[in-house]
A and B are shown apart, each in its own frame.
Chain A
Amino acid sequence: MVNSQEILKIKDLEKSFDGVPVLNRLTLTVKRGEVLVVIGPSGCGKSTLLRCLNGLEPVNGGQIVFEGQILTSFQTSWSRVRQRIGMVFQNYELFPHFNVLENILLGPVRVQGRKKSEALEKAEFWLNRVGLWDRRESFPRQLSGGQKQRVAIVRALAMDPEIMLFDEVTASLDPEMVREVLDVILNLAKEGLTMIIVTHEMAFARAVADRIIFIDQGVIVEDSPPETFFENPATDRARRFLNIFQFDGVQRGSRGTGPKTVPVRL
Chain B
Amino acid sequence: MLDSALSIFRTGRNLARLMEGLGITLQISAAAVGLSLLLGIPAGLLMAGRRPLIPKLLRLYLEIIRVMPILVLLFLFYYSLSRFLNINLSAMTVSVLVFTLWGTAEMSDLVRGAVSSLPRHQWESGRALGLNEMQVSLYVVFPQIVRRLLPGIINLTTRMIKTTPFVFFINLPDLLKVGQQIVEVSGIRNPLSSVWVYGFIFAVYFAICYPISLLSRYLELRWQS
| Residues of chain A whose beta carbon lies under 8 Å from any beta carbon of chain B | 54, 56, 78-80, 82-83, 86-87, 89, 91, 93-97, 106-107, 110-112, 139-141, 152, 155-156, 159
The CA of A41 and the CA of B147, in the complex, are separated in Å by 40
18 A-B pairs besides A93-B124, A95-B139, A159-B129 with CB distance below 8 A are A56-B124, A56-B128, A79-B132, A80-B130, A82-B129, A87-B128, A91-B119, A93-B122, A94-B125, A95-B122, A96-B144, A97-B147, A97-B225, A106-B131, A111-B129, A155-B129, A156-B128, A159-B130
**Cβ–Cβ contact B124 & A110, under 8 A:** no
The CA of A80 and the CA of B125, in the complex, are separated in Å by 15
- Min Cβ gap A15→B in Å is 16
**Cβ–Cβ contact A110 & B139, under 8 A:** yes
Contact partners of A111 in chain B: CB under 8 A: 129-131, 135
- Min Cβ gap B223→A in Å is 8
Q: List 22 A-B contacts (CB under 8 A).
A: A79-B127, A82-B129, A83-B129, A83-B130, A89-B124, A93-B122, A93-B125, A94-B125, A95-B125, A95-B144, A96-B144, A96-B225, A106-B131, A107-B131, A111-B135, A139-B225, A140-B225, A141-B225, A152-B125, A155-B129, A156-B129, A159-B129
Residue B143 lies at the interface, judged by CB distance under 8 Å to chain A = yes
**Cβ–Cβ contact B144 & A97, under 8 A:** yes
Q: Which of A56, A96, A156 has the most CB of B within 10 A?
A: A96
Contact partners of B129 in chain A: CB under 8 A: 82-83, 106-107, 111, 155-156, 159
Contact partners of B144 in chain A: CB under 8 A: 95-97
Contact partners of B147 in chain A: CB under 8 A: 97
The CA of A252 and the CA of B21, in the complex, are separated in Å by 83
**Cβ–Cβ contact A107 & B225, under 8 A:** no
Residue B189 lies at the interface, judged by CB distance under 8 Å to chain A = no
| Residues of chain B whose beta carbon lies under 8 Å from any beta carbon of chain A | 119, 121-122, 124-132, 135, 139-140, 143-144, 147, 223, 225
The CA of A96 and the CA of B140, in the complex, are separated in Å by 9
Contact partners of A83 in chain B: CB under 8 A: 129-130
**Cβ–Cβ contact B122 & A112, under 8 A:** no
Across the A-B interface, give the 3 residue pairs with the lowest CB-CB distance, nearest first.
A83-B130, A93-B125, A79-B132
Contact partners of A79 in chain B: CB under 8 A: 127, 130-132, 135
- Min Cβ gap A239→B in Å is 34
B129's nearest neighbour on chain A, judged by CB, is: A107
**Cβ–Cβ contact B131 & A54, under 8 A:** no
Q: Which of A79, A107, A139 has the most CB of B within 10 A?
A: A79
Contact partners of B140 in chain A: CB under 8 A: 95
Q: Which of A97, A139, A152 has the most CB of B within 10 A?
A: A97
Known: A79-B132, A96-B144. A56 touches B225 (CB 8 A): no
Contact partners of B143 in chain A: CB under 8 A: 97
Known: A106-B139, A110-B139, A139-B225. A93 touches B131 (CB 8 A): no
The CA of A80 and the CA of B130, in the complex, are separated in Å by 6
The CA of A229 and the CA of B125, in the complex, are separated in Å by 32
The CA of A206 and the CA of B132, in the complex, are separated in Å by 37
- Min Cβ gap A90→B in Å is 9
- Min Cβ gap B225→A in Å is 5
Contact partners of B122 in chain A: CB under 8 A: 93, 95
A81's nearest neighbour on chain B, judged by CB, is: B130
The CA of A110 and the CA of B128, in the complex, are separated in Å by 14
**Cβ–Cβ contact B139 & A82, under 8 A:** no
A93's nearest neighbour on chain B, judged by CB, is: B125
The CA of A54 and the CA of B147, in the complex, are separated in Å by 30
- Min Cβ gap B127→A in Å is 7
- Min Cβ gap B99→A in Å is 32
- Min Cβ gap B137→A in Å is 13
**Cβ–Cβ contact A107 & B125, under 8 A:** no
The CA of A112 and the CA of B203, in the complex, are separated in Å by 55
B146's nearest neighbour on chain A, judged by CB, is: A97
Contact partners of B131 in chain A: CB under 8 A: 79, 106-107, 110-111
The CA of A99 and the CA of B48, in the complex, are separated in Å by 28
The CA of A156 and the CA of B130, in the complex, are separated in Å by 10
**Cβ–Cβ contact B127 & A56, under 8 A:** yes
Contact partners of A156 in chain B: CB under 8 A: 128-129
